[in-house]
Amino acid sequence: MGGGGGGGGAARVGLSRLMSVAFVLLALSGFGVHAGRSRIHKKVHGGGGGGGRHRGGGRGGTVVWSPAVPPADERTQPVTPPPGIVPSDPAVPAQPEQCVFDVRAFGAVGDGTTDDTEAFRAAWKAACAVEAAVLSVPSDGTFTITTTTFAGPCNPGLVFQVDGVLMPPDGPDCWPPSDSRRQWLVFSNLDGLTLRGTGTIEGNGEEWWNLPCKPHKGPNGSTLRGPCDSPTLIRFFMSRNLRVEGLRVENSPEFHFRFDGCSDVRVDGLSIRSPETSPNTDGIHVENTERVAIYNSKISNGDDCISIGTGSYDVDIQNVTCGPGHGISIGSLGVHNSTACVANVTVRNAVIRNSDNGVRIKTWQGGMGAVTGISFDTVVMENVRNCIIIDQYYCLDKRCMNQSTAVRVADVSYANIRGSYDVRSAPIHFACSDTVPCTNITMSEVELLPFSGELVDDPFCWSAYGLQQTPTIPPIYCLQDGLPDALLDNPDLRCR
């Protein structure tokens, strides 16, 4: 009996021990699950609370921030690291948000009549002081401002974004007497500025073109003498690393764009338009500027599509359509017996339509210096009066005196020039100086046929030396061989 009782006690003790072990295992199992969930749901420091996020502050003027992207919901969205980043890598610092300075926040109205000049000046001052700032001209406004210089230096990454319409006062009668009549918008002493947008810069140039001192605007087709200043629409002065992109610019009183004393300039995707009768409305003028790229643009106006003045080096022009107008010109150079230097200009993949000139080099008698290293490659002409022209006797009123010095023209290549010409003039015209002839002109794959009428097969050559590398249409038999002795070791013909 005692043995039976002892067996029951042992069983009770064993059951008690089993229950204790099970309880401990269950507790340990519960602790492990809880700890794992804590690791999965642990909050990341610096997460997206709404009011606690620091967004910086304005540095002068009203700052309009770009809207922030809300953080993903941690409970429903997996966290995907950026490409190339694994979860164990250190955190990637967030990029600063872009500051947008809307001119309306500074008082601009944009109704087409209110003078918004002071608002633009205040917005520029504020944007200039902030890195990666955007001065915004919104798309739903027409903003009128008077002559203004937007000067630097500014912080890096400044963008002047024109999505609406920006324009000067309507003609000389509305121009403030205290403002310069030679320029409207000037961007000066800047490094890294971008002028871009989907909007329009409207020049309101018609009243300027009709001044009686403009060509063909005087009585009976004459031109009245006297002061005749008209503003260049947009001028860049003493600046570098410039980009001008995407804008529509039209009806400038005089030059549409002018680059003076600049370097590292890229112009891309512009539309420039003025009537073919508008005087002196060059599309893009480059002077004392180096390393310039002009790409993918359409220009129609009343003067040179692109003009290249003295002190211009390393200019690359590609995929440009010109016309009507006066074509792509180097010059005029050497006016008033000055020294002029231009080197390394390339024009390729261009179309020139219904123009007085195609590709032109023009210099005044009496000048000094040189134009060298010029290449015109793959240019299509459509009804162009003077397709290929070098004129070292350039003169505006045909009363210029003959002079013995000239700007030297050398190393000029014409390749793959094709299309049609207006038969009123010979399609190829080389009028070079007696004392400073043109040298090393090369012609290859030149085929020019009349737009209508009979073939003009007598190109004009005077003191022109070079080589016809392939048969051309029309033939260029008038090029002379060799190099004149008069050009050797002449210090007046040298540039840098």
Averaged over 4-25, what is the pLDDT? 41
d(CA 294, CA 284): 9
Lowest mean pLDDT among 178-182, 192-196, 472-476: 472-476
Interacting residues of 30 by C-beta distance below 8 A, sequence separation 6+:
none
CA angle 198, 200, 203 (to 5 degrees): 160
pTM score of the predicted model: 0.79
pLDDT of residue 397: 75
Burial status of residue 222 (CB atoms within 10 A of its CB: 0-12, 13-18, 19 or more): exposed
Which run of H or E residues covers position 35?
helix 2-40
Q: Which of 216, 326, 336, 429 is catalytic?
A: 326
- Scanning the structure block, which residue is given the tokens 């003045």? 309
Q: How far apart are CA 262 and CA 186, in angstroms?
A: 13
Which stretch of 192-206, 356-370, 481-495 has the lowest confidence by average pLDDT? Answer: 481-495
| pLDDT value at 272 more than 60 | yes
Residue 337: the pLDDT is 92
Quick one: average pLDDT of 209-229?
74
- Residue 93 pLDDT exceeds 60: no
Calpha distance 257→299 (Å, rounded): 11
Write out the two tokens for 125: 């001052």
Residue 447 to residue 455: CA distance in whole angstroms: 12
| Tokens describing residue 111 | 């109704």
Beta strand spans in 301-367 (E): 306-308, 312-322, 328-333, 339-353, 357-363
Tell me if the bond preceding 215 is cis, omega within 30° of 0: no
Determine which of 87-96, 195-204, 426-435 has the lowest per-residue pLDDT on average: 87-96
**pLDDT per residue as tens digits for the range 67-79:** 333 333 333 344 3
DSSP 420: E
Active site residue 326: yes
Digit-coded pLDDT (tens) for 359-383:
999 999 999 999 999 999 999 999 9
Q: What percentage of the chain reaches a pLDDT higher than 90?
A: 65
297 beta partners? 320
DSSP class of 93: P
- DSSP secondary structure code for residue 94 in this structure: P
Q: What is the pLDDT of residue 63?
A: 30
pLDDT at 449 over 70: yes
Among the residue ranges 18-32, 103-117, 184-198, 302-316, the one predicted with the least confidence is 18-32
Q: Which residues contact 205 (CB under 8 A, 6 or more apart)?
A: 230, 251, 252, 253, 254, 274, 278, 281
Position with higher pLDDT, 255 vs 477: 255
Q: Which uninterrupted H or E stretch holds 257? A: strand 257-260
Per the structure block, which two tokens stand in for 146?
A: 């008077």
Domains, in order of start, for the chain:
96-217+233-303 (2.160.20.10), 306-487 (2.160.20.10)
Name the band, by pLDDT with cuts 50, 70 and 90, for residue 214: confident
What value does the mean pLDDT of the chain take? 82
pLDDT category of residue 489 using cuts at 50, 70 and 90: low
Q: Which of 48-57, 129-138, 204-213, 332-341 has the lowest mean pLDDT?
A: 48-57
HSE of 362 in the Cβ direction (CA atoms, 13 Å)? 19
pLDDT of residue 476: 84
